[in-house]
């Protein structure tokens, strides 16, 4: 999508990032050829670039860098990026700037034995973190010596693979905290602002899933204290651009510095919604050398904004393991009010193993939190994504959960609410009847449509249309007898002794179907159907599989043989797509605890 939107585009290499977006020579060659005046780069690339430009002319590489000397980097300078990109150095700088920090070891952990010694001194539980890490990569929680040794090994391997830097640090693990971050904006003239907070506590594997601004937890005094410390840190490293200072906040509203991200965060739209500032525009102005246009007193909190990260992931596996595939159908809910979608894909795009599986950022805004959440619920119901597995069902369940609605959240929200893993929406008795009535009405509407061709009876001498049907609907909890009668565009459906009235325009060609069930509006999606009566419907965010048969067909179906289930006892399947990097066995070995490394 970004290539289509650009006036001019240049290919920087093949899909693997090491050969394209992280290839400094390729990036700089494109800058030279296009005569770009300014550039925004990956942090590690821009650090290398800015460091090269700071060298004496005789020491600069042979690539025509002299022609690039006038190019402006949109972002902070090298010192800030390096200092804040290294978790060890950033923690020391934060301490010196009088920012609250988490107790821990401030040096580099040499080996697993030293990691165990340090963990014992700090006191369990501890967090093992990659010094150069981010995005939840290279992080492990250890509750004892054995987990510390294992965590050290896995974290160092993941850190080396993801960041090319296997250095680790260890600090006290703050149990059951909130993850709240402060957006900062600074210029090259010594001015800096804090643009309020973002609540980012809904996470899986230390990666954010749902964000909102402001936080339900902070009072004005705590907000001001966090903001002032964030600005103090930004000034300490002479920061200039938009950046984010992340904190962990305990139940007593004590807050501790976590890290500073020297870039524009994924969740920045919620800050834009409540402040009215365009952060990208402000970054470009700062890079050009202009002073900030606003004072701290000018920064408002207007309304409430919520962002859901829509991923190509299977939420039923560890709250989201990546899915790959092609988007065969894609429709964003932009027809709804106060909805924003930031995405880089379109119908026909491929979700591959080379990049983060994020499909989009879905943002809704309201005058208050309840309004923003209601609009998010509607937006998720109206979001059409086909071809890949996605996490819409998990997102919807999170935002309607009573604990989330009340603001009772922490970074442990998902494992606490779903201790046995996410299972989808649990239907109430009324919701189950609504689903069965909608599915039966869809079935009958499809049968009636199949009898007509261009508005005419296919067989002129056919008998007049039926007005009632007796069906058998098989849902996961059992078989339900359903009686349907038609009156105009409405269906009267009797399910489990209860009558419901289902009305709709019945546009079966549309991916979205708006139905009203006894006055309750619902948006459903019919994902698939076949000649055997099997039907998949997305209802309240979750996909349900049903089988709908006529009463006669249902009675006869018991004589049909069932297909035997596949024997998977001798098959080892990866839970997610990836590359096999090691198989630590050979023919003849006895395997007691099999593990596949991906």
Distance (Å, whole) CA 193 – CA 184: 6
Distance (Å, whole) CA 81 – CA 77: 6
Q: CA dist 388 to 136, 316, 329, 347, 349, Å?
A: 24, 14, 10, 11, 11
Distance (Å, whole) CA 486 – CA 404: 41
- Residue 453 makes CB contacts below 8 A (sequence gap 6+) with none
Closest CA to 103 of 117, 116, 119: 119
- Residue 270 makes CB contacts below 8 A (sequence gap 6+) with 198, 211, 212, 213, 305, 306, 307, 363
Distance (Å, whole) CA 278 – CA 291: 15
Please identify which residue in the block is written with the tokens 């007005």. Answer: 467
Output the CA angle 209-211-213, nearest 5 degrees.
Answer: 180
- Residue 418 makes CB contacts below 8 A (sequence gap 6+) with 319
What is the 8-class DSSP label of residue 597? B
- Residue 249 makes CB contacts below 8 A (sequence gap 6+) with 177, 178, 179, 180, 217, 218, 222, 255, 256
Q: CA dist 188 to 233, 239, 243, Å?
A: 15, 8, 14
Please identify which residue in the block is written with the tokens 């006892």. Answer: 569
| Contact call for residues 576 and 322 (beta carbons, < 8 A) | yes
Determine how many CB atoms are found less than 10 A away from the CB of residue 409: 25
For the chain, the 3-state helix, strand and coil shares in percent, each to the nearest 5, are: 30, 30, 40
Q: Decide if 259 is catalytic.
A: yes
Catalytic residue chosen out of the listed positions 212, 259, 267, 272: 259
**Burial class of residue 566 in the structure, from the number of CB atoms within 10 Å of its CB (0-12 exposed, 13-18 middle, 19+ buried):** exposed
Phi, psi of 394 (to 5 degrees): -65, -45
Closest CA to 471 of 393, 543, 552: 552
| Contact call for residues 26 and 20 (beta carbons, < 8 A) | yes
The tokens of 401 are what? Answer: 């959960």
Distance (Å, whole) CA 411 – CA 550: 48
Helix (H, G, I), strand (E, B) or coil at 272: helix
Q: Which residues are catalytic?
A: 259
């Amino acid at each position: 999508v970004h290539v289509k939107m650009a006036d001019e585009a240049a290919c920087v290499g093949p899909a693997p990032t090491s050969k394209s977006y992280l290839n400094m020579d390729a990036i700089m060659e494109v800058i030279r050829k296009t005569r770009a005046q300014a550039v925004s780069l990956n942090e590690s690339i821009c650090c290398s670039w800015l460091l090269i430009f700071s060298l004496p002319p005789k020491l600069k590489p042979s690539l025509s860098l002299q022609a690039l000397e006038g190019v402006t980097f949109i972002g902070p300078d090298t010192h800030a990026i390096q200092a804040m990109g290294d978790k060890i150095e950033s923690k020391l700088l934060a301490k010196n700037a009088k920012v609250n920090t988490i107790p821990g070891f401030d040096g580099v952990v040499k080996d697993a034995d030293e990691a165990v010694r340090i963990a014992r001194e700090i006191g369990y539980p501890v967090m093992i973190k990659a010094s150069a890490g981010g995005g939840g990569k290279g992080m492990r929680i250890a509750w004892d010596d054995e987990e510390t040794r294992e965590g050290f090994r896995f974290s160092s391997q993941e850190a080396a693979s993801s960041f090319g830097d296997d250095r680790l640090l260890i600090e006290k693990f703050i149990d059951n905290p909130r993850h709240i971050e402060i957006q900062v904006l600074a210029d090259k003239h010594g001015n800096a602002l804090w643009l309020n907070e973002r609540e980012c506590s809904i996470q899986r594997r230390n990666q954010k899933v749902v964000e909102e601004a402001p936080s339900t937890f902070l009072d004005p005094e705590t907000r001001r204290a966090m903001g002032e410390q964030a600005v103090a840190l930004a000034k300490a490293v002479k920061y200039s651009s938009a950046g984010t200072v992340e904190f962990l906040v305990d139940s007593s509203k004590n807050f501790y510095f976590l890290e500073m991200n020297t870039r524009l965060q994924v969740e920045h739209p919620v800050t834009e919604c409540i402040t009215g500032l365009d952060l990208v525009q402000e970054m470009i102005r700062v890079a050009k050398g202009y002073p900030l246009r606003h004072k701290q007193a000018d920064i408002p909190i207007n309304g409430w904004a919520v962002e859901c990260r829509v991923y190509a992931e299977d939420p039923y596996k560890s709250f989201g393991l990546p899915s790959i595939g092609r988007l065969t159908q894609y429709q964003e809910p932009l027809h709804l009010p106060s909805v924003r979608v930031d995405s880089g894909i379109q119908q026909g795009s491929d979700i591959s193993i080379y990049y983060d599986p994020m499909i989009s950022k879905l943002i809704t805004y309201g005058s208050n939190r309840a309004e923003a959440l209601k609009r998010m619920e509607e937006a998720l119901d109206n979001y059409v994504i086909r071809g890949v597995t996605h996490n819409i069902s998990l997102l919807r369940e999170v935002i309607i959960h009573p604990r989330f609605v009340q603001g009772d959240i922490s970074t442990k929200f998902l494992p606490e609410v779903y201790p046995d893993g996410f299972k989808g929406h649990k239907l109430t008795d009324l919701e189950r009847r609504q689903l069965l009535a909608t599915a039966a009405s869809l079935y009958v509407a499809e049968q009636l449509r199949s009898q007509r061709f261009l508005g005419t009876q296919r067989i002129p001498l056919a008998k007049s249309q039926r007005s009632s049907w007796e069906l058998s609907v098989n849902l996961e909890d059992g078989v339900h007898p359903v009686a349907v009668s038609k009156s105009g565009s409405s269906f009267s459906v009797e399910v489990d002794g209860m009558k419901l009235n289902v009305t709709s325009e019945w546009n079966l060609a549309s991916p979205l179907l708006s139905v009203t069930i006894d006055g309750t509006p619902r948006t459903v999606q019919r994902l698939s159907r076949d000649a055997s009566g099997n039907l998949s419907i997305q209802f309240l965010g979750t996909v349900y599989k049903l089988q709908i048969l006529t009463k006669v067909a249902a009675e006869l179906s018991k004589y049909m043989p069932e297909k035997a289930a596949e024997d998977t006892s001798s098959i080892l399947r990866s839970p997610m797509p990836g590359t096999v990097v090691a198989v630590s066995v050979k023919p003849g070995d006895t395997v007691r605890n099999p593990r596949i490394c991906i």
